[in-house]
Amino acid sequence: MNLVAATPGIGNDDLALRLAALEVENAQLRRDLDASCLMAASLREANEHLVLAAVDAQTSRDDAEETNRRQNEFLAMLAHELRNPLVPISVSASLLERAPAIEGSLVRLTNVIQRQVDHMARLLDDLLDAARLSSGKITLAVEPLRLAEILEHAAETVMPRVRERGQELVVGSAGADLLVDGDRVRLTQVFTNLLSNASKYTQDGGRIEVTVDAAESITVTIADNGSGMSPETLGNAFDLFTQGPRSLARSEGGLGVGLNVVRNLVTMHGGSVSAASGGLGQGSTFTVGLPLSVAAGAAAARPASVNTTSPARRILIVEDNVDASDVLRMLLEIEGHQVEIAGDGHAGLALALAGRFDAIVCDIGLPGLDGLELIARLRAAPPSLRPFTIALSGYGQPQDRERALTAGFDRYLVKPVAPAVLFEALAGTVPAR
Ligand code: CA
């Protein structure tokens, strides 16, 4: 239209031609427009696909995370459930050992049972830790610690196995006064795992040596002259559920989680861990780097050891595992205590409120009313009715302990409990009036 208006004095033919040209142009524009619309539509469709794909990707990621979370929960629950049967086994072994006129061979057998129960408990701890660590559920209680003390405790823990296999464990005295900022339990666990790993993969009569070096940071080296590692094993030594090849003659077992726990814990301490080996049969060396403590003062002293003789008490056991409560009763009665048993939370609370007990040894996972609720309700009772309360639980994590103590328990013991530890806890009770 502008064209026509801007060109005065032209003829009809010209006008017709121009109109025709314009129509052609118009038709072209319309086709272009249609094409653009089509393109826009397919772009929009492509965009929708992209959005859907992104949503799908997010959903699969969520699914994977959910699966992972469920697996971790399952592992934690499995470890906890497997702890429960260890109580009657362990206590039965101690009872056998205390039996009058027991034969020497039976004492050896009860020691075997006890050692294997301890080993099983450690495996379950590892399993639980691996699950907790991979879901970020472990927190550290950091304080300045003497490195030498940590190494000493770790060495003490593995010593029975090292001795049994005629191995030599040498802990160098260098760096005895070094301080490290760490969680006492977790750092001890790091070196216990490394030492027990070294013992496991070293032949009978082999040698394990621990040396400490310090410059701007601390370096602890654990070297053995054992079976060593192939480059492939070395590459994923710290991955979950991987293990070095096992010898048929000596299947020490293990879940392949110990070194994974080590790496996670060392990393949480701001350190690093690496493995080296000259190859199969050439021994292995594990090197842990840890930052030096920023604190100048000496680490806190360890609490003194405690007297484990317990005067006679009236004790209520609340436990739904009948075998566990039976053997616990036998163990406590042999020690001169009077014992009653409740098999669930409600029965336990009713008996406890009758107020005739000096102490309650209470499971946490109970039918009806769980141990935490039981103690919370008991706490609402008049002080004269409140006995000393000891939780005996399959849940071994610091936050489980925290929760139980917050709920009102006086002590928290983890299954399977050593009789001496239980007696010591009971010795701390005050007899009811
Ligand atoms: Ca239970």
Residue-by-residue DSSP string for 247-270:
PSS------S-HHHHHHHHHHHTT
Strands (E), 118-228: 142-146, 168-171, 179-183, 207-214, 217-224
Question: Structural domain boundaries of the chain?
Answer: 9-60, 139-244+254-291, 314-427
> pLDDT for 71-118, tens place per residue?
777 877 787 788 888 888 888 888 888 887 777 778 888 888 887 888
Model pTM score:
0.54
Fold agreement between 139-244+254-291 and 314-427: no
> pLDDT for 351-399, tens place per residue?
999 878 999 999 998 998 999 999 999 988 888 778 899 999 888 777 7
What b/e string do you get for 110-147 counting C-beta neighbours within 10 Å, with b at 16 or more? Answer: beebbeebbebbbbbbbbbbbbbbbbeebebebebbbb
Q: Distance (Å, rounded) from C-alpha 189 to C-alpha 141? A: 14
CATH topology of domain 139-244+254-291: Heat Shock Protein 90 (3.30.565)
How far does residue 189's CA lie from ligand 1's centre (Å)? Answer: 27
How far does residue 346's CA lie from ligand 1's centre (Å)? Answer: 14
Q: Distance (Å, rounded) from C-alpha 231 to C-alpha 240? A: 17
Strands (E), 113-225: 142-146, 168-171, 179-183, 207-214, 217-224
CB-CB contact of 359 with 312 (8 Å): no
Tell me, what's the pLDDT at 67?
Answer: 82
How far does residue 70's CA lie from ligand 1's centre (Å)? Answer: 22
| Region 314-427: CATH code | 3.40.50.2300
Stated length of the chain: 433
How far does residue 193's CA lie from ligand 1's centre (Å)? Answer: 29
Amino acid letter, 155: A
Q: Which tokens in the block code for residue 227? A: 């079976």
Tell me, what's the pLDDT at 242?
Answer: 62
Q: Which tokens in the block code for residue 288? A: 């842990």
How far does residue 247's CA lie from ligand 1's centre (Å)? Answer: 38
Tell me, what's the pLDDT at 306?
Answer: 40
pLDDT higher than 80, residue 19: yes
List, in sequence order, every residue forming a beta bridge with 254; answer none if it has no partner: none
Percentage with pLDDT > 70 across the chain: 88
How far does residue 67's CA lie from ligand 1's centre (Å)? Answer: 27
Tell me, what's the pLDDT at 7?
Answer: 53
How far does residue 161's CA lie from ligand 1's centre (Å)? Answer: 31
pLDDT higher than 50, residue 344: yes
Place of tokens 């050891």: 305
> pLDDT for 191-214, tens place per residue?
999 999 999 889 999 999 999 998
**Other Cβ atoms within 10 Å of 27 Cβ, number:** 10
pLDDT higher than 90, residue 312: no
**Range 303-307 contact pairs with CB under 8 angstroms and sequence separation of 24 or more:** 306/424, 306/427, 307/424, 307/427
When pLDDT is averaged across residues 394-406 and rounded to a whole number, the result is: 84
Q: Distance (Å, rounded) from C-alpha 396 to C-alpha 79? A: 10
> pLDDT for 245-268, tens place per residue?
554 444 455 556 788 889 989 999
How far does residue 148's CA lie from ligand 1's centre (Å)? Answer: 39
308 band by pLDDT with thresholds 50, 70 and 90: very low
Q: Distance (Å, rounded) from C-alpha 218 to C-alpha 147? A: 9
How far does residue 263's CA lie from ligand 1's centre (Å)? Answer: 33
When pLDDT is averaged across residues 33-42 and rounded to a whole number, the result is: 89
Find out whether the peptide bond into 100 is cis, omega within 30 degrees of 0. no
Q: Which residues, chain by chain, have CB under 5 Å from ion ligand 1?
A: 320, 363, 365
